[in-house]
Amino acid sequence: MVVNVHQFKQWKRDGRAIVVLTAWDYMSGQIVVQAGADIVLVGDSLAMVALGYETTLPLTLEEMLHHAKAVRRAVDRVPLVVDMPFLSYQVSVAGAIHSAGRVLQETEATAVKVEGGHPAIAPTIAALVQVGIPVMGHVGLTPQSVNQFGGFRRQGTSAESAQRILEEAKAVEAAGAFCIVLEHIPAELAQQISQTLTIPTIGIGAGAHCDGQVLVTADVLGLSSWQPKFAKAYGNLRQSAIDAAHQFCEEVRTRRFPNP
């Protein structure tokens, strides 16, 4: 059965947890689909995972399109969501529609993801939905605002900031988003938002009470050189890969590969 974005509200009502994993190329797309992810996200985290940037900010729309096309070739029967890079949707509503339209048209993605709530972003979400572009929202720690936050710091820790994030989440839902990512916020706040909204919440570093969870696949596989505190590595493929490549180097130097 092909899953569409409208089914996730019912999953929330049924208490069925939603699994989201990221992908950045054809191979990672194959891995997460075969693993059973419900949604594949081409996250702007690929800026760091695949391109070596220190933050997501340098990532361009053209780079995102390039990677999303590769992931799409591996993803078939589950929704593919593509992150909108910095400045591809914040400058104007018309610009956001054009950029998001390119994403759907050129990558055959199911939906796009944008960061932020009101007053600036909610009207943009509403405009995208109105022209037929499904949107995943994202509040809390929004990595494209890392310089404003002063680093990748936990958000919503004060009563004032928690209320702001709650109101942003409400605005994202009212604008028509089909689900929303809650990143690096207190579990109590994530639970409150999850209980308040009718659309599913997808947590990342936001506790166990969200309607689903997302992690960067490189973190899950133990490929990353640095892990966020809230991520969990289910393997250590980075060291395994280094060991395998090192063994090849040694066998070539000692003329054990290829065998005579």
- Confidence (pLDDT) at 118: 79
Give the global pTM. Answer: 0.96
**Mean pLDDT confidence for 23-47:** 98
- Confidence (pLDDT) at 4: 87
- Confidence (pLDDT) at 148: 82
Residue 248 lies in a domain: no
Any known ligand binding at 9?
no
Any known ligand binding at 113?
yes
CATH number of the domain that 26 lies in? 3.20.20.60
Residue 158 lies in a domain: yes
pLDDT digits (tens, 9 = 90+) for 106-144: 999 999 999 999 788 999 999 999 999 999 999 999 999
- Confidence (pLDDT) at 240: 98
Please count the structural domains in the chain. 1
Extract the tokens encoding 224.
Answer: 């990353």
- Confidence (pLDDT) at 42: 98
Any known ligand binding at 83?
yes
Inter-residue contact 155 to 140 (CB < 8 Å): yes
Question: CA 203, 114, 66, 242: dihedral to nearest 10 degrees?
Answer: -30
Nearest to 234 by CA among 248, 210, 213: 213
pLDDT digits (tens, 9 = 90+) for 174-221: 999 999 999 999 999 999 999 999 999 999 999 999 999 999 999 999
Residue 80 lies in a domain: yes
Residue 247 lies in a domain: no
- Mean per-residue pLDDT over the chain, rounded: 96
183 given a catalytic annotation: yes
Residue 138 lies in a domain: yes
Any known ligand binding at 69?
no
Between CA 19 and CA 63 the distance in angstroms is 25
Range list of β-strands (E), 56-131: 80-83, 111-113
pLDDT digits (tens, 9 = 90+) for 213-234: 999 999 999 999 888 889 999 9
Residue 205: which domain range?
Answer: 7-235
Residue 257 lies in a domain: no
Three-class secondary structure assignment of 126-189: HHHHHCCCCEEEEEECCHHHHHHHCCCCCCCCCHHHHHHHHHHHHHHHHHCCCEEEEECCCHHH
- Confidence (pLDDT) at 238: 97
Residue 243 lies in a domain: no
pLDDT digits (tens, 9 = 90+) for 87-108: 999 999 999 999 999 999 999 9
Catalytic residue among 106, 108, 168, 183: 183
pLDDT digits (tens, 9 = 90+) for 23-33: 999 999 999 99
Residue 87 lies in a domain: yes
Percent of the chain scored above 70 by pLDDT? 99
Any known ligand binding at 45?
yes
- Confidence (pLDDT) at 1: 58
